[in-house]
Structure 1
Amino acid sequence: MLRHVIVSHQDLLEFAKECFRRVGVPGEDAGIIADHLVLANLRGVDSHGVIRIPYYIEGVEKGYVRARSEIRILRETGATALIDGGGGLGIPVAVKAVRLGIEKARDGGIAVVSVRNLGHVGMLAYYTLKITEQKLIGLVTANAPARVAPWGGAEPVFGTNPISLGFPAREKPIIIDMATSVIADFKIKLAALKGEKIPEGVALDKSGKPTVDPKEALEGCLLPFGAYKGYSFSLIVEILSAVLSGGALSKQIIRHPSTQGGFFVMILDPTAFRSYREYEADLDRLLDFIRGCPPAHGFEKVLLPGEPEDRVYRRRLEEGIPIDSATWRLLAETSARLGVSMPRPRG
């Protein structure tokens, strides 16, 4: 049985663009979404890659999100902005919010942009990578449909509520991107699609008992990482993303892979505090201390956040992106329905 196929990132990019154009997404926005999803696959974050294409398109067709949206700035100061995303697909809306934040941070040293009424924003590292490319520091959060119980609870109140931070550095940026649940919700869906079990200690069934069955977990809830610590971070993300923007709380969001609550981005310019050369030199010194730390038993070396994803990125850029058979079937169904040619497998 075919386990996976290998596809070049360029072919996957063109396929994704055309799929979104076929359902009425404007050309620029289709390109932004395609670039985002393919980068997720390149970095090994397959749960946020092209497997999302059928679900985003379904979200448009069912009216959960709009293919075209009018983004409006509701309130604005020199350093802040509140944006209404017009109910549009989240990735293009979030990209435009980040662009505005970068402009404001360049002018004033700091910027905060809060967004409500938008669809799923995808892999948050995409935005912190874009911010660090400009030699700026970024903090990004988003709340999602309720799937995670508060610590000690047995019903979902929070989304997986991811958070990402990015710090520019001399060689590669430091990119932290994580859900505040033990595991990302879509990884549960992937496990169910593949007929695999999920790890112990990540989910409860609908009766509040621990489970390793992804189907039971989908009917139940996920657990926060680090017990009460992850619960606290979930709460922080919920307040920054939804309460600050006036967006939907996690409990109020329609549960679908195309939906989101709110989006928050804060951007800092290191040169507002000191010269970039000084910032970079001290960060280099810190990273040298980390890299020089002797590895614990069972580890080969100490890695920096984002380093594993960067290794996968370089390998997949050269060798191609592996697409598992379950995802390939979903893409083939979308391809046939929209009349878009499937990307050509390598070899």
Structure 2
Amino acid sequence: MIKRYDSDKMKQLVFNIYQAYGFSDDESEKVAHTLIYTDLHGIESHGVQRMVMYDHFIQNGKIRVKSQPEIVKQTDVSAVVDAHFGLGQLNGIYSMEVAIKKAKEHGVGIVTTRHSGHYGIAGYYANMAAEQGLIGMSSTNSRPAMLPTHATKAFVGTNPIAFAMPAKPHTFIFDAATSTVPQGKIEVYRKLEKDLPALWVAKNGDEPVYDHNDTHDLDLLRDPEANVGLAPLGGVSEATGSHKGFGLGIIVEVFTSILSMGNTSTEISPADLQVGPSQSFIAIDPAIFGDKDQIVNRFSEYLQNIRELPAIPGKTIYVHGDKEAIAYADRKKNGIEIDDHTLEEIMTIAQRLGVDYKPFIG
């Protein structure tokens, strides 16, 4: 069952948990903000739902509480960051702040980061740039999950791409995995005991898996030796565009692991403590192309023209960022949505760390 919880109270609980791990007050605040931001925007697959995975990695040493990101190479417009296996959200915020600073000084900032951790939603970091009046982009690779077109084994990560640009009445934000859905969405459906509604998972290259009770196949997702994986954007056939999602996933690999000399998707393993995902962060100042206000106004008019197109009866035309803005208004007023299974995971973590969770979930 899904219930609503006050976002400010849940943010305080998350803050207390990360403080109990040994993160500083500033670090705990940043992590809590990113996770609750995600749930406030209706992306439950990557909000507090992810805390149990981070807890496992903190316990086994894959995430190192005291690690700090470090610039190991840079120019006026670029940098390579070694994250030293710190928490992904902290690495992501640090790296995008570097990119933003370079963009404000030189028009463009491109940062590629290695040895990081799962950093939540890519859109959070792209939006950091948009909040500063810049265009933002971010990507991350991940351990093998996606089936290359015609392959029977996963090889590419879900490798999302996020883009954000200032607009009116709210920021345009595109954030999507290059697989049909992210791994976290499969996890949410299984927690809710819901069957998969489309070809999100395939075995033996092209056989769909729909049943949430199919533990044999779904438990093997991201096992590089198993004949099961996530479908690329476009499904599993070239006729439906499978090669497009597959190709986009490879492009993400270039901007994350190849340029940073970090770990590629195929080298990432949850069991290997010496490897971690690679990420990229890009900030661009629109002013290098012309008057910034005119550019934003022109883009806003363009988006509004799309919204006002004739729609299928009973349907509404949204552009990217619209649904997130609607979700934010609803969840800020009525609470974020958390399923019972995820809440139980959070309470178990809090109890082990000696954090009192009762005042925050009533």
Alignment of 1:222 onto 2:223: no
**1:225 shift after superposition:** 0.8
2: CA distance, partners of 1:252 / 1:36? 27
- Report the counterpart of residue 80 of structure 1 in structure 2: 78
Alignment of 1:271 onto 2:271: no
**1:170 shift after superposition:** 3.1
**1:260 shift after superposition:** 4.7
- Report the counterpart of residue 310 of structure 1 in structure 2: 325
1:134 aligns with one of 132, 135, 141: 132
Contact 1:7 1:343 (8 Å CA) reproduced = no
1:213 aligns with one of 191, 194, 211: 211
2: CA distance, partners of 1:191 / 1:59? 23
**1:297 shift after superposition:** 4.3
SS of residue matched to 1:337: helix
**1:207 shift after superposition:** 7.6
- Report the counterpart of residue 2 of structure 2 in structure 1: 4
SS of residue matched to 1:210: strand
Contact 1:188 1:218 (8 Å CA) reproduced = no
1: CA distance, partners of 2:254 / 2:197? 29
Q: TM-score, normalised by structure 1?
A: 0.94
Gaps of 5+ in 2: 221-227, 235-241
1:150-177 deviation digits (Å, cap 9, x = unpaired): 1111111111101100011132010000
SS of residue matched to 1:316: helix
Q: TM-score, normalised by structure 2?
A: 0.90
Paired residues, number: 343
Contact 1:204 1:211 (8 Å CA) reproduced = yes
Counterpart residue type for residue 208 of structure 2? P
SS of residue matched to 1:154: coil
**1:104 shift after superposition:** 0.4
Q: Once superposed, what is the RMSD of the aligned Cα atoms?
A: 1.8
- Report the counterpart of residue 55 of structure 2 in structure 1: 57
SS of residue matched to 2:79: strand
Counterpart residue type for residue 285 of structure 1? E
- Report the counterpart of residue 252 of structure 1 in structure 2: 267
- Report the counterpart of residue 237 of structure 2 in structure 1: none
- Report the counterpart of residue 298 of structure 2 in structure 1: 282
1:76-101 deviation digits (Å, cap 9, x = unpaired): 11000000001101100110111111
SS of residue matched to 1:112: strand
Rate the CA distance shift 1:7–1:289 in 2: closer, same or farther, 3 A.
same
Contact 2:10 2:360 (8 Å CA) reproduced = no
- Report the counterpart of residue 109 of structure 2 in structure 1: 111
2: CA distance, partners of 1:234 / 1:17? 33
Counterpart residue type for residue 202 of structure 1? W
Q: How does 1:158-237 map to 2 (within 5 A)?
A: 158-205=156-203, 209-214=207-212, 215=215, 216-219=217-220, 220-226=228-234, 227-237=242-252
2: CA distance, partners of 1:331 / 1:107? 42
Contact 2:126 2:281 (8 Å CA) reproduced = no
Rate the CA distance shift 1:190–1:277 in 2: closer, same or farther, 3 A.
closer
Over the matched positions of the two proteins, sequence identity in percent amounts to: 27
